[in-house]
Amino acid sequence: MTAQTGEYPQTAAGPEAINLGLGQPSPSLLPLALIREAAAARLGAGADPLVLQYGAIHGPQSFRESLAELMTRRYHLGAGHEVAASQLLVTGGISSALSFTAQLFARPGQTVVCSDPTYFLARGVFESQGLAVEGVPVDAEGIDVSALEQRLARGAAPAFVYCMPSFHNPTGACLAPDRARRLVELAERHDFLVVADEPYVMLGFAPEPPPCMMTYDEGRGRVLSLGSFSKILAPGLRLGWAHAAEPLIERFSLHGALRSGGGLNPVIASIVQGVIEGGALDRHIDHLRRTFEARAQALMDALRQHLPRLVEGVAEPRGGYFVWLPLPEGCDGAALLEAGSEAHGVRFTPGSRCAVTRDLSRFIRLSFAFYEPDELREGARRLAKLLTDAGYSVTA
């Protein structure tokens, strides 16, 4: 997954290889017709040309209301909880929202604690702001809050903890509720922010998704949850949101670029509002959930068939995009990719790429989002062949 200059690092793949590293929806899941129809309606002959004017700093009010209703329907918030439009600010997607967050809520030289492993491109966003990045391990129940607590006892509090509580990238883990509660308590006690990167909350396979991180904030203003339309609609829209208690949203809205530019992507927000209203987005999300569940199943079945020894301890994905696969002892994922992927026509994300400070070279990240079941099965077969040809036993 080497990126050529100017190429988006998540999409670099030879035309023949099956690249199980691709963390993006397949072209067949990009709903061009939905966007086209919404654009035609929202920019139609009877539309208000003011949709093209500078927008409101927090994003268009009617869009925020539609989004709040969608989130209330689609997030598992607990009885009596709902998302309010006043808790939302429209962003240009999670990547740029993370950049704004780093500017607003950290001073260069301060530390960000990330789950280790973590989303591999987040690190660069923090480093662009001159922040130091430290890791705290993730296990099957999400970020290890006891390890975080020990770390907090040892040194200065970080500016924020960056985590992915729902269907973690790359491990797929969901943060256990008791850990989530303790994380917010620690944030209060040590005065830091919990920045939750949550693009997959609505992409759980079970009817009840795990609660979003804001469920545990309970008005304390310690959680800043970043959501996105990239994984539930289309990445190229560059539209997302920040979800937090109102005082935190107000602090976010003071960013100079929002004051000057008048809100991020109001035209796109208007089009997406059209996709939300009338239920097209709900139907699309249901379609994605079913599709990804079938793909995850196909990949896991194929891994069990071709690499039973490796997949033994791997939990069934409950949502999101990823499977985090251990390699045989002594096998380095990056070296394996380098040595054999071209000849064997299979690629993946080496665990070392997702590591903060841990040695995760014996893991690889596989995504089931981009390919059809048949291709995923073929990818798993090729991966097994690659490992076997490299002298590792994957079946015994």
User: Is 71 buried (19+), middle (13-18) or exposed (0-12) by CB count in 10 A?
Assistant: buried
Q: Which of 369, 391, 193, 203 is nearest to 285 (CA)?
A: 203
Structure tokens, 160 = 């924020």
- 322: phi then psi, degrees, rounded to nearest 5: -125, 150
d(Cα 229, Cα 81) in Å, to the nearest integer?
22
* Residue 140, amino acid: A
122 contacts a second copy (rule: CB under 8 A): yes
Contact pick of 10, 115, 166, 367 for a second copy (by CB under 8 A): 10
| C-beta of 295 vs 306, nearer to a second copy | 295
- Least distance to a second copy from the beta carbon of 62, Å? 13
Percentage helix, strand, coil, to 5, in the chain? 45, 15, 40
Residue 374 DSSP SS3: helix
Contact pick of 114, 164, 248, 268 for a second copy (by CB under 8 A): 268
44 contacts a second copy (rule: CB under 8 A): yes
Residue 281 DSSP SS3: helix
Q: By CB under 8 A, which span of 32-40, 138-146, 292-300, 334-342 interacts with a second copy?
A: 32-40
- Least distance to a second copy from the beta carbon of 94, Å? 8
341 contacts a second copy (rule: CB under 8 A): no
Q: Which residue shows structure tokens 């670029």?
A: 257
Structure tokens, 352 = 């070392």
d(Cα 177, Cα 243) in Å, to the nearest integer?
19
117 contacts a second copy (rule: CB under 8 A): no
- Least distance to a second copy from the beta carbon of 109, Å? 9
* Rg of the chain in Å (alpha carbons): 21
Strands (E), the chain: 18-19, 88-91, 111-116, 132-139, 142-143, 160-163, 193-197, 223-228, 240-244, 322-326, 346-347, 349-350, 363-367
Structure tokens, 217 = 């904030």
* Residue 304, amino acid: R
Contact pick of 14, 72, 82, 128 for a second copy (by CB under 8 A): 128
227 contacts a second copy (rule: CB under 8 A): no
129 contacts a second copy (rule: CB under 8 A): yes
2 contacts a second copy (rule: CB under 8 A): no
* CA 304 from centroid of its chain's CA atoms: 26
Contact pick of 13, 17, 77, 121 for a second copy (by CB under 8 A): 121
263 contacts a second copy (rule: CB under 8 A): yes
- Least distance to a second copy from the beta carbon of 270, Å? 8
Q: Which residue shows structure tokens 């009877």?
A: 46
- Least distance to a second copy from the beta carbon of 159, Å? 13
Site string for a second copy, 151-190 (x = CB under 8 A): ----------------------------------------
135 contacts a second copy (rule: CB under 8 A): no
| C-beta of 27 vs 219, nearer to a second copy | 27
Contact pick of 56, 77, 176, 390 for a second copy (by CB under 8 A): 56
- Considering only residues 280 to 339 of the shown chain, the ones binding a second copy according to CB under 8 A are none
260 contacts a second copy (rule: CB under 8 A): yes
- Least distance to a second copy from the beta carbon of 45, Å? 8
- Considering only residues 229 to 258 of the shown chain, the ones binding a second copy according to CB under 8 A are 230, 234-238, 250, 253-258
Contact pick of 68, 75, 92, 376 for a second copy (by CB under 8 A): 92
Contact pick of 17, 104, 140, 294 for a second copy (by CB under 8 A): 104
d(Cα 58, Cα 84) in Å, to the nearest integer?
13
Structure tokens, 79 = 């009885």
Contact pick of 57, 112, 138, 226 for a second copy (by CB under 8 A): 57
349 contacts a second copy (rule: CB under 8 A): no
Size of the site for a second copy (CB under 8 A): 78
Strands (E), 148-230: 160-163, 193-197, 223-228
Task: Identify whether the C-beta of residue 361 lies closer than 8 Å to the C-beta of residue 332.
Answer: yes
